[in-house]
Amino acid sequence: MAFTDRFDTHQQHDPKKVELLLWVKTSMFAILTFVLIALALITQRKLGGAELINAASAWTAVVLIGLSMLLSAICYFWNKFDHYIFFRKHLGVTGFVMACVHTLYSFVILRHQFPFPDYYLSDKNLPSFLFALAAFLYFAFMTSISNNYAVHELGSMRWRKLLRVGYVAYVFAIIHFGLKGYPYWVRWIQNGMQTPPSIGLVLFIFALFVPYFRVVLEIALRQQRKKSSAGMKLYNTLSRSVEEVKPIGDKITMYSCGPTVYDYTHIGHLRTFVNVDVLKRTLLAEGNKVVHITNITDVGHLVGDNDTGEDKLEKGARKYGKSIEEIIAFFSNFFMQSLDKVHIMPSNAYPTATSHISDMVALVKTLEAKGFTYETKEGLYFDTSKFAQYGKLSGQKLEDKQQMRAEVHIDPDKKHPADFALWLKRVGRFADHSMHWDSPWGDGFPGWHIECSAMSMKYLGETIDIHTGGVDHIPVHHENEIAQSEAATGKQFVRHWFHGEFLMIEGQKMSKSLGNLLTIDDIEKEGIEPTALRLLFLQTHYRQEMNFTWESLKASQQALKRLREAVLQTKSQTQRSQISPEKSETAAQLSAKFYSTLSNDLQMPQAVATVWEVLKSNVPSEDKYDLVMEFDRVLGLGLGQIKEKTDVQVSEKVQELIVQRDNARNDKNYEESDRLRIEIEKEGYIVEDTSEGTKVK
């Protein structure tokens, strides 16, 4: 059995005895270090008494704290020293105690030699004093949080980040001692180095290796992560294959087709945006910089994506009896609130179509100058026959595009059904269109497709790395974006197309006619958290059609509750602050597994399964909690914000069932009580009988 395994077993059986043994060994090492340094100071500088204790305690503190910081790098590069990692905290705390001794002697015992404030605030000594003060205060803070209670309250991840700042404090201490010893060391060099170097210079050089090895360790860890990461691979709709995402520049540019804000954002939209959100979070977790733009369509989107029907904004205004401005403001706000409720990270910008009319006009003028347009009485159109690659995204040939139904209005002067509007004039069916602007082609408004090309180019450049949207956009909207963009620039418009599949409702396609368009408000009215909806979305791959049912959502609510309980239990179990190499390897393997599943075409269900695997593993609780928090930054379930006790949201229907069941139990009508229990459980709750009545969770 390896030493670390024996150590773990021993610690589990008698942790107090093991902890005492660590303190005893550390104290013995500290005493030995102090004695050796003192002997060197006696020999070299003829120090004695209080001056000797003052100097020896200072350099002993440098050695002990330095070793506590070096251990991570030493154990990483040389495995045979792994078991010394358990002394890290004890060395650091003991080193701070020696720093306190040094401070006590400097300010109290030797105050006649170092009077305050005259000595410390003099021009000569002030810089050295300030660096020493900053280092001492932070070391005091580090010592105060070197306990399990602090780990529990701060969270293991935040706790370790705070301790890493200690390297800066150590550099301050190095500067302090360097300023104090520099004159003596220079004089020694000028005298030809005829005597052995002073113990102060030797220990100063040792201290310099501490931040140096930390930098080396960080570089090694970054290279290891980079080497182990194969990069994000996604299915590219354009190539119809899984490809590695390779950004053009030093950041990944991503554009998402946002909503047309004429009606409520429904959960089908939210599934698409959750998929995109997990993609973005994964890219960020892999160390990429991501610039993400999501547009807001507030003009020009007709009921038919192929330029048929009326403007959706005018239709929405008429439906709700509001002005177009009121409709835009209300549904834009509802969209943003819906995103926030399912924990979607904000995009870098949400540009609106009406704010970029001039950009669209400029792009259309470029297309016109290059001969890709033709004008009719009703508008200006893109001539798809002039773009040889039209249809390359959908795979649909131009000749396969069918003429519209006879009852649907189309511009009689259109050359081909696939030709699409770049600018629609305020004539005929649009004579009373409320939103309109002047243009070289007359008073009117832009077509829907041109806005995405104009805004993506303005914010992200002529070629973008990733363009996202639903599969319903492939045959028309995204096909048209490619045509107009590449015709205008002569460059590839999008390198990687990312499309999410449809969301079905109880086995049926969502539609207004069926009345099954569910919003986030509908979810909350049933007493179910929006986070449960996000977790449900994570259970299905983004390229797989998903069937939403209320039963599956209620099951997701229960799964979320169990997940939170497991995380809280892990957070409360703070038994140690170190991790053995074997269990560290297990944690590393689980971390690699999580990211590899996501990097392989965003396999979200497997990533969620890995979270459960971590929670059931033998990795120490604090490190287990760290891993789950790290994973949750990608999954976005808000597991770091949960409280010790979570209140269960209960719908009015279930509340009424609880009251009826309590009445049945009071009347000793157990048959009715059992029936009501089944009814409550069908709603997705677990029933508990308590002395206070029925409780659900």
Angle at 494 between CA 492 and CA 496, to 5 degrees: 130
Q: Which of 312-321, 351-360, 482-491, 648-657 has the lowest mean pLDDT?
A: 648-657
End-to-end CA distance of the chain: 44
228: pLDDT strictly greater than 70: no
Given this model, what pLDDT does residue 626 score? 84
Go through the domains of the chain in sequence order and give each one's CATH number: 3-228 (1.20.120), 249-500 (3.40.50.620), 522-641 (1.10.730.10), 652-696 (no CATH)
62-76, 294-308, 334-348, range with greatest mean pLDDT: 334-348
Q: How far apart are CA 396 and CA 495, in angstroms?
A: 19
- Taking alpha carbons only, the member of 490, 510, 484, 341 closest to residue 419 is 484
Binning pLDDT at 50, 70 and 90, where does residue 539 land? very high
677: pLDDT strictly greater than 70: yes
- Nearest-10 Cα torsion for 96, 101, 103, 105: -170
Q: What is the DSSP string of 551-603?
A: HHHHHHHHHHHHHHHHHHHHHH----S---HHHHHHHHHHHHHHHHHHHBT--
In contact, 254 and 465? CB cutoff 8 Å: yes
- Taking alpha carbons only, the member of 503, 536, 459 closest to residue 265 is 503
Judging by DSSP bridges, how do beta strands 508-509 and 693-696 pair with one another? unpaired
Percent of the chain topping pLDDT 90: 53
Binning pLDDT at 50, 70 and 90, where does residue 8 land? very low
Given this model, what pLDDT does residue 297 score? 93
Given this model, what pLDDT does residue 73 score? 82
CB atoms inside a 10 Å sphere around CB 93: 19
Tokens of 51: 């001056």
pLDDT in tens, 593-617: 999 999 999 999 999 999 999 998 8
CB atoms inside a 10 Å sphere around CB 176: 22
Residue type, 494: V
Tokens of 687: 């029933």
Binning pLDDT at 50, 70 and 90, where does residue 407 land? very low
Binning pLDDT at 50, 70 and 90, where does residue 569 land? confident
- Taking alpha carbons only, the member of 554, 538, 521, 519 closest to residue 639 is 538
Given this model, what pLDDT does residue 5 score? 39
Given this model, what pLDDT does residue 487 score? 97
Residue type, 578: Q
Contacts of 468 (CB under 8 A, 6+ apart): 254, 255, 256, 257, 272, 275, 276, 279, 498, 499, 500
Angle at 24 between CA 23 and CA 28, to 5 degrees: 115
Binning pLDDT at 50, 70 and 90, where does residue 152 land? low
Judging by DSSP bridges, how do beta strands 508-509 and 503-505 pair with one another? antiparallel
Residue written as token pair 């100097």: 55
Given this model, what pLDDT does residue 512 score? 66
Binning pLDDT at 50, 70 and 90, where does residue 666 land? confident
Tokens of 16: 């107090």
Given this model, what pLDDT does residue 380 score? 96
Given this model, what pLDDT does residue 646 score? 46
Q: How far apart are CA 128 and CA 148, in angstroms?
A: 34
pLDDT in tens, 238-264: 999 999 999 998 899 999 999 999 999
Given this model, what pLDDT does residue 7 score? 37
580: pLDDT strictly greater than 60: no
In contact, 481 and 463? CB cutoff 8 Å: no
Q: How far apart are CA 120 and CA 111, in angstroms?
A: 11
Tokens of 424: 């629609």
Mean pLDDT of the chain: 86
2: pLDDT strictly greater than 50: no
Per-residue DSSP letter, 137: H
Binning pLDDT at 50, 70 and 90, where does residue 225 land? low
Q: Which of 62-76, 137-151, 637-651 has the lowest mean pLDDT?
A: 637-651
Given this model, what pLDDT does residue 404 score? 45
Given this model, what pLDDT does residue 607 score? 96
4: pLDDT strictly greater than 80: no
> 497 — alpha (psi -120 to 50), left (phi > 0) or beta?
beta
Given this model, what pLDDT does residue 166 score? 86
Given this model, what pLDDT does residue 11 score? 42
